[in-house]
Amino acid sequence: MSHDTAKSTHSINVGRSTSFMATFHSSINAIAEEDWNTLCGVDYPFLRHEFFSALENSGSTSEKTGWQPYHLSLSQPSNGKIIAVMPLFLKTHSYGEYVFDWAWADAYQRHGYNYYPKLISAIPFTPATGMRWGIDQQLDEDTIISAFQQAITTEAKNKQLSSCHILFLTDEKNQQWCRSEWQQRTGYQYHWFNQGYTCFDDFLARMTSRKRKNIIKERRKITDQNITLVTKTGDQLSLEEWQQFYLFYQSTYYKRSGHQGYLSAAFFPALASGLAENLVMIQAYAANDDNNSHRSQDLVAAALCFKDSKTLYGRYWGCLDDYDSLHFEACYYQGIEYAIENKLMRFDPGAQGEHKIQRGFTPITTYSSHWLANDEFSHAISRFLTQEKREVQQYLTAAAEHLPFKKKTDIP
């Protein structure tokens, strides 16, 4: 089914006296960077105009990749001033979302319905919890949410889309959003929380002896392999280093999945241009004896993180060769050290990975909101979500028992 995605505008009435113009844009560049960032703020990196621009201008999000930008703005009818924005995408698949609905798509297909395209508000290829809209702070947020919902569902019905999805909202905002026909879905991740640690050893001191020794042993393997870790911020990285990192990223992605990564080579330098202050790269150098008997070091792996004023976000990792425990060091332990040194409150290392629990990452609940146009499927999915929520709660309770920290009764 072909959809005209150039631009779509219609009027939204909220209550008897409030109205807005809702406009869907096929490019982030249709909205001025200053307008977008004024409404969304510049602390949380994944909601910044520069992030979406880097994705789009590098070709990583497009109709061809199945991530067609379709960002929503609300404006005042009287003067055209934009007073709220939300990132949106028309999706023709479910890759790169991390809230898995493949079974829903299969059910639609078995019953002769099209699940794709669908409409989602998400950070592409990034399962990081946070805000999914920006509004003028002088306006009532519940009123704006109602306008967003009316605009989104009206557009979905007009374009005969199967569904709309808002992914990785905070608990509070998800509760605000899940009203009327919208349904809540829960999942889980593993995050590290700063308990006022002064150093990595301070963090280890909270662990049981066996778990502490395991981590010390893993970290010692890095030294034994003559590997050195270096942490750089975005403004300290050269174009050559970004090109090397892209090779790591693509090579590792291909080994793991059999196909190339979602992000293009142009994406990473574009990030460095617009969001250097939000980037942290942890590089691994391995000692190398060259033919002249001079010892040198080669860059062999790297982990790229984002940061804001409170949180470090682990995002992309790449390595050309296999080194024992290097992934744990670069992607977890170095991130924890960076968070402690910079007094960050949380480290979100990314999706999945039950092995993170024994390394001090706490199981937490994640949230998303879903609207389905077909009432029959909506009722069936509601029953599924109720059962899934119980299972998630049971898992989180059981998983928390495996955290490596001492019980209160064990602390002198």
**Average pLDDT for 236-261:** 89
Architecture of domain 7-188+364-400: 3-Layer(aba) Sandwich (3.40)
pLDDT tens by residue, 303-347: 999 999 999 999 999 998 999 999 999 999 999 999 999 999 999
Distance CA 45, CA 37 (A): 10
- pLDDT tens digits along 21-40: 999 999 999 999 999 999 99
Query: How do residues 32-71 score in pLDDT, each as one tens digit?
Result: 999 999 999 999 999 999 999 999 999 999 999 999 999 9
Span 113-126, pLDDT tens digits? 999 999 999 999 99
Measured distance CA(201)–CA(182) in Å, rounded: 45
Which residue has better confidence, 260 or 57? 57
Is the separation of the CB atoms in 197 and 345 below 8 Å?
no
Q: 3-state class of 169 per DSSP?
A: strand
Residue 312 CA to residue 336 CA, distance in Å, equals 9
* Calpha distance 3→24 (Å, rounded): 13
Quick one: average pLDDT of 244-264? Answer: 87
- pLDDT tops 80 at residue 7: no
- What's the token pair of residue 278? 């939000």
- Find the mean pLDDT for residues 151-177: 96
Confidence bin at 5 (pLDDT 50/70/90): very low
Q: How far apart are CA 315 and CA 222, in angstroms?
A: 21
Measured CA to CA, the distance from residue 156 to residue 366 in angstroms comes to 25
Instruction: Provide the percentage of residues in the chain whose pLDDT is more than 70.
Output: 94
Burial of 79 by CB count in 10 Å (0-12 exposed, 13-18 middle, 19+ buried)?
exposed
Per-residue pLDDT, averaged over 379-393, amounts to 97
Local confidence band at 4 (pLDDT 50, 70, 90 cut-offs)? very low
Q: What is the CATH number of domain 195-344?
A: 3.40.630.30
The CB density around residue 172, as the number of other CB atoms within 10 Å, is 9
pTM value is: 0.93
- Tabulate helix, strand, coil % of the chain (nearest 5): 40, 25, 35
On the question of pLDDT at 174 being above 50, the answer is yes
pLDDT at 411: 44
pLDDT of residue 252: 87
Every domain of the chain and the residues it spans: 7-188+364-400, 195-344
pLDDT reported for residue 171: 95
User: Does the fold of domain 195-344 match that of domain 7-188+364-400?
Assistant: yes
